[in-house]
Chain A
Amino acid sequence: AQTVTQSQPEMSVQEAETVTLSCTYDTSESDYYLFWYKQPPSRQMILVIRQEAYKQQNATENRFSVNFQKAAKSFSLKISDSQLGDAAMYFCAYKVDKIIFGKGTRLHILP
């Protein structure tokens, strides 16, 4: 069965510091997509970053980057220069045909 595990239910980081959110997944597929979505209190699920499994290069979007380790089935998200607006639930997700989400990590930004 395809599963996505986020082992950190909550994390806190000081404003302007760097934080890494962990995600592991289980699959027998070789071709798939991985995503990090952000869900602020407004509830809108916002795409943060996307990685195609066939690409070895780690995806980067401004202050957000991933560490994709395909053999280890690991897909962590690094947020640099954390800002107050980064406070939200972060969901790791895996997709072949449908999206499977992890349970999320709530990120607090400390001023």
Chain B
Amino acid sequence: EAQVTQNPRYLITVTGKKLTVTCSQNMNHEYMSWYRQDPGLGLRQIYYSMNVEVTDKGDVPEGYKVSRKEKRNFPLILESPSPNQTSLYFCASSTRTGYEQYFGPGTRLTVT
């Protein structure tokens, strides 16, 4: 089954404690991306990757890091989480840049 998986699905953490949200896709897609969803703001892009070892900033990259060492995986790293990073996070992938993306189920992060 074609899918994008994210782990964990729910996470409560404290300010400053480094965390990683994993994302994996099994469709051999070149393009992967991370978004955050906040009330009234829709989905905003954090980082994206057009292929292995190629990553770039989206609209709201501050406080986040990513890496793309393998085609299937695109982890999101919060080195020092802060309460304003409390949000719902989605990973997505597609064959072409941005077109018809497949989304993961989401990770709800709470930073206290």
Do chains A and B interact in one complex? no
Which residues of B are at the interface with A, using a C-beta cutoff of 8 A? none
